[in-house]
Amino acid sequence: MSTTKSDIRKLSVEQLKSWLAERQEPAFRAKQIDEWLWKKSARSFADMTNLSLALRQLLDENFSINALTTDKQQHSNDGTVKSAFRLFDGHLVEGVLIPATDRMTACVSSQVGCSLTCSFCATGYMERKRNLEAGEIYDQVVEIARQAEAKFSAPLTNIVYMGMGEPLLNYANVLKSIEHITSPQGLGMSPKRITVSTAGIAKMIKKLGDDEVRFRLALSLHAANDAKRNQIMPINESNSLDNLAEALNYFYQKTGNRITFEYIVFNNFNDSLQDAKELWEFTKRVPARVNIIEYNPIAEADFRNTEADKLDRFAAYLEDRGVTVSVRRSRGKDIDAACGQLANKDKAA
């Protein structure tokens, strides 16, 4: 692909209008092009059949559509589908379709690799190569939605930004992708069906509040104790639990959206009743529900999932104290598609 062409999906409708006006093309063509790009998910200018052939050729000479392609798919015994998506510059990211009886969820990536070094996460052992563009995040949703229709004859119902990368370190592109996914001029999904998960960057959580976002927010917590959280999530050293509590409350006051705490239970590390007590006390500081997540082992780390009876006691301790708790069972573990396992295994990136 020629590097002299710019990515047309980085242009706003107004910028498209200006470009077209300079070439004596009517302004309404900009909205038609925008509709092809974001509502109809066109992958080439040749697809834009209500434009003249001359305009399509002009667009093709000046712009590219840097769409991703599906490089490889793996299918789990439980129905989960993991895709390796090839980006226009050759990098790979992974996305996952997670089917359930009442929903179809797309788990999408926001970065190639990750700059955070969470010790339990396979992506954390990769180098961050670059941020994804808004169009590349959008493309993952489109491809996974097509998989849901093809394999399960069901529409995509939910999106979680829980794949590779830290979404709040790619703030502008993540929000722009959500804008295109939720806009009536785009895919038209409800923002309430989108969850952005962060390892916890206090100033960016406050910025989400200032921007009054309408999607849901999840915090990868995994320990309600600074010393333990520092051990497994170095980001906590500069974003302590006190700072996060303040930022999350600010977000809640600005948006009214209750937060979800994600809590992976590691055997003999954060699964005791004392740990549950600390988590319960933290939920009293921030309006939140708790998702307890089974750990999915990775080769790079020695952590193991907690035992079933300890997990049950942990969840019961919180429920007995009025906390809304869900236990998320692993999906796609047999194809390394479960939470914390995305790492482009056996693929050059």
Q: Return the active site residues.
A: 94, 339
CB-CB neighbours of 77 under 10 Å: 9
Q: Which residues of 169-206 are buried (b: 16+ CB within 10 A; e: fewer)?
A: bbbebbbbbbebbbeeebbebebebbbbbbbbbbebbb
Helix (H, G, I), strand (E, B) or coil at 173: helix
User: Quick one: tokens of 118?
Assistant: 């969470």
Q: Are 123 and 114 in contact (CB under 8 A)?
A: yes
Q: How many whole angstroms from its chain centre is CA 347?
A: 21
Q: Are 210 and 175 in contact (CB under 8 A)?
A: no
Q: Which residues of 256-265 are buried (b: 16+ CB within 10 A; e: fewer)?
A: ebebbbbbbb
3-class secondary structure per residue, 309-335: HHHHHHHHHHHHCCCCEEEECCCCHHH
| 31/43 Cα distance (integer angstroms) | 17
| 43/147 Cα distance (integer angstroms) | 17
- C-alpha dihedral sign at 210, 213, 214, 215: negative
* Rama region for 90: left / alpha / beta (φ>0; ψ in -120 to 50; rest): left
CA nearest neighbour of 3 among 88, 83, 76, 68 = 88
Pairing of strands 130-131, 111-112: antiparallel
The residues pairing with 107 across neighbouring beta strands, listed in sequence order, are 96, 160
